[in-house]
């Protein structure tokens, strides 16, 4: 298999002992098997989390090379697999010359959340969505916030036997507005996500995805036909950062952003600001000017506070002053909707009309305190605000 070996510096027990950073206070998810995840499991399906494969099945986007070897064309890793080998994401496997997914219907996380937690600030404010994620990821961020779910094999975590219909049924019976594929990396459970999204669409639910955007153009275009909203992580604007800290190439993420925009899926961007690594105002300015030029000034940008986790546990959390400076830089570059994420009570949590500058959505954390919109337009001046509002 092409790619490097992956090693962890902390085991699960050691990671959980870092409870002082509180997953909930960061707006992060608890992996399945934890008390929080178990309490949110859909009781109507009488599900019990357990280890092991439940629904391995043939997968799409594989190309047969010579009868025994296959190449996965889902993401830019282009994993070439001999019989019995798995791809870098840990959930796609060569079984006797055929490509299989080990993530289908095996969510390691099922929970209800405010849409603001995804984060989506321009999609059904104040509503809740059913979040779904499995083990596995096709990148290896050194600051991964859910590494003990994302950067492990599916047989190493507890998961639920929950096929697409069960996901949609739970969302409907719970009165939720949307299904969200988030917290882990949805690209790696592509088939599960796509089948669930098709059913969700038939039931009139909104489909949302939060992804690192590391995906090939063809599967992405198919995914765009199923998604109503996408939040893509743009982790830096420096190619070296992506190679050294993320384990990928930034070009593919930028192409992903442009494809989503071209396919008219509502787009928001999250960029985590990490002290000493990607917090240079000049770098942030370049990134924001690219967003304005290539995607448009009305794409919402979430500047997220970094908290020390996983392999970057030695760095400090992002100073609020750094986030303030980054927000000012983004606004000066021409972006119209710039948010500060994970700093509860910050002015940057609110939505302001770009024309009259009135506060049209007042947020405190994930709570909507006030909203001044009429059919998606500013109540004060009539300016149309991009998003999905009803």
Q: Tokens 């952003």 appear where?
A: 257
Kindly list the domain boundaries of the chain, sorted by start residue.
14-49+106-349
Determine the number of helices (DSSP H) and then strands (DSSP E) in the chain: 11, 19
**What's the token pair of residue 291?**
């967003």
Q: What is the pLDDT of residues 196-206, one digit of tens each?
A: 999 999 999 99
Range scoring the smallest mean pLDDT among 46-50, 122-126, 181-185:
46-50
Share of the chain above pLDDT 70, in %: 87
Of 3.40.1670.10, 3.20.20.70, 3.20.20.370, 3.30.465.10, the CATH number of 14-49+106-349 is: 3.20.20.70
Residue 47 pLDDT: 63
- Across 344-359, average pLDDT: 97
The answer to whether 212 and 233 are in contact (CB under 8 A) is yes
Rounded to the nearest integer, the mean pLDDT of the chain is 89
Distance in angstroms (rounded) separating the CA atoms of residues 83 and 77: 18
SS3 34: strand
Write down the pTM of the prediction: 0.89
Share of the chain above pLDDT 90, in %: 85
- Across 87-116, average pLDDT: 96
Residue 73 pLDDT: 97
pLDDT band at 299 (very low <50, low <70, confident <90, very high): very high
For residue 2, is pLDDT > 90? Answer: no
Distance in angstroms (rounded) separating the CA atoms of residues 50 and 31: 13
User: Which value, in Å, is the radius of gyration of the alpha carbons in the chain?
Assistant: 20
pLDDT band at 24 (very low <50, low <70, confident <90, very high): very low
Residue 10 pLDDT: 40
pLDDT band at 37 (very low <50, low <70, confident <90, very high): very low
Give 200-233 as a DSSP string. Answer: HHHTT-EEEEEE-----HHHHHHHHTT-SEEEEE
Residue 28 pLDDT: 42
For residue 5, is pLDDT > 70? Answer: no
Q: How far is CA 165 from CA 55, 176, 191, in A?
A: 14, 15, 13
pLDDT band at 53 (very low <50, low <70, confident <90, very high): low
């Amino acid at each position: 298999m092409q790619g490097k070996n992956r090693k962890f510096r902390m085991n699960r027990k050691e990671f959980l002992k870092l409870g002082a950073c509180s997953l909930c206070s960061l707006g992060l998810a608890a992996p399945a098997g934890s008390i929080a995840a178990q309490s949110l499991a859909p009781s109507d399906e009488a599900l019990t989390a357990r280890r092991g494969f439940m629904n391995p099945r043939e997968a799409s986007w594989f190309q047969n090379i010579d009868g025994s070897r296959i190449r996965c064309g889902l993401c830019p890793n282009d994993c070439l697999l001999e019989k019995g080998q798995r791809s870098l994401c840990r959930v796609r496997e060569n079984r006797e010359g055929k490509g299989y997914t080990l993530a289908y219907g095996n969510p390691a996380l099922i929970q209800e959340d405010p849409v603001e937690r995804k984060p989506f600030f321009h999609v059904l404010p104040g509503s809740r969505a059913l979040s779904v994620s499995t083990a596995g990821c096709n990148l290896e961020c050194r600051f991964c916030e859910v590494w003990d779910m994302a950067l492990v094999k599916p047989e190493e975590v507890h998961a639920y036997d929950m096929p697409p219909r069960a996901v949609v049924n739970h969302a409907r019976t719970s009165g939720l507005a949307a299904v969200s594929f988030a917290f882990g990396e949805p690209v790696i459970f592509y088939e599960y996500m796509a089948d669930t999204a098709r059913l969700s669409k038939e039931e009139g639910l909104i489909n949302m995805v939060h992804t690192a955007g590391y995906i090939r153009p063809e599967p992405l275009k198919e995914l765009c036909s199923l998604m109503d909203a996408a939040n893509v992580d743009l982790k830096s604007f420096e190619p070296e950062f992506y190679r050294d800290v993320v384990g990928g190439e930034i070009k593919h993420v930028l192409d992903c952003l442009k494809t989503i925009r071209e396919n008219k899926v509502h787009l928001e961007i999250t960029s985590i600001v990490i002290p000493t690594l990607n917090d240079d105002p000049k770098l942030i300015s370049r990134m924001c000017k690219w967003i304005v030029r290539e995607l448009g000034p009305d794409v919402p940008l979430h500047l997220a506070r970094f908290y020390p986790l996983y392999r970057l546990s030695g760095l400090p959390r992002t100073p609020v002053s750094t986030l303030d400076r980054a927000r000012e830089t983004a606004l000066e570059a021409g972006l119209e909707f710039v948010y500060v994420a994970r700093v509860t009570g910050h002015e940057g949590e609110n939505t302001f009309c770009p024309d009259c500058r009135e506060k049209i959505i007042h947020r405190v954390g994930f709570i909507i305190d006030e909203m001044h919109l009429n059919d998606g337009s500013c109540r004060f001046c009539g300016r149309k605000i991009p998003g999905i509002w009803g």
